[in-house]
């Protein structure tokens, strides 16, 4: 799984609204209506993540869900991260 | 909802294995078998939290789940935090 170069990452992020690069990770915070909706969203993400065998860090703060993606085995950002981010955006 | 004093907090923590006080919060990291088990645990916590109308911060790192409890409306630790921590321990 090849590491993405900075220009590839910048190109990918153009089509991923509000996803931001921090070092070797990309992050986004989603704001839901309330905790119940946040948990529904988290469970949808969990199913996608398990299917892809690629698991974001998930931080839940009542109605806010922050996701952090990185391919730890590769030491940075790869296709796996952007594919999963796109699937999550499509939920 | 009364804020707990330091000695009350210390007493409560004696019966809550591996829960640790950090400032105005208590925290514990649970290690599950894998992500599937972590999500099962998180969903059980979510049901208890919604029922109690008291929601921990929940951080998921594959098989590890870190919970942080505080009563923000009271500016510190109250009965609500220790009651929910005990319910989670009993899962």
**ipTM, 2 dp:** 0.96
> Which residues 6+ apart lie within 8 Å of A38 measured at CB?
A32, A60, A62, A63, A64, A65
- Distance from the Cα of B85 to chain A's closest Cα (Å) equals 17
Question: Is the whole model's pTM more than 0.80, yes or no?
Answer: yes
Tens of pLDDT, residue by residue over A6-38, are: 999 999 999 999 999 999 999 999 999 999 999
- Distance from the Cα of A81 to chain B's closest Cα (Å) equals 15
Strand partners, B61: B64
Q: Which of chain A's residues have a Cβ under 8 Å away from the Cβ of B43? A: 39, 43
Mean pLDDT of B72-87: 97
Angle made by CA atoms A72, A18, A66, in degrees to the nearest 5: 55
């Amino acid at each position: 799984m090849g590491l993405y170069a900075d220009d590839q990452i910048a190109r990918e992020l153009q089509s991923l609204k509000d996803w931001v690069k921090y070092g070797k990770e990309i992050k986004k915070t989603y704001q839901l209506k309330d905790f119940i909706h946040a948990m529904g969203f988290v469970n949808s993400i969990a199913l996608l993540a398990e299917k892809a065998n690629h698991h974001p860090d998930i931080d839940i703060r009542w109605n806010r869900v922050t996701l952090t993606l990185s391919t730890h085995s590769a030491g940075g950002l790869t296709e796996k991260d952007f594919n999963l981010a796109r699937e999550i955006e499509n939920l």
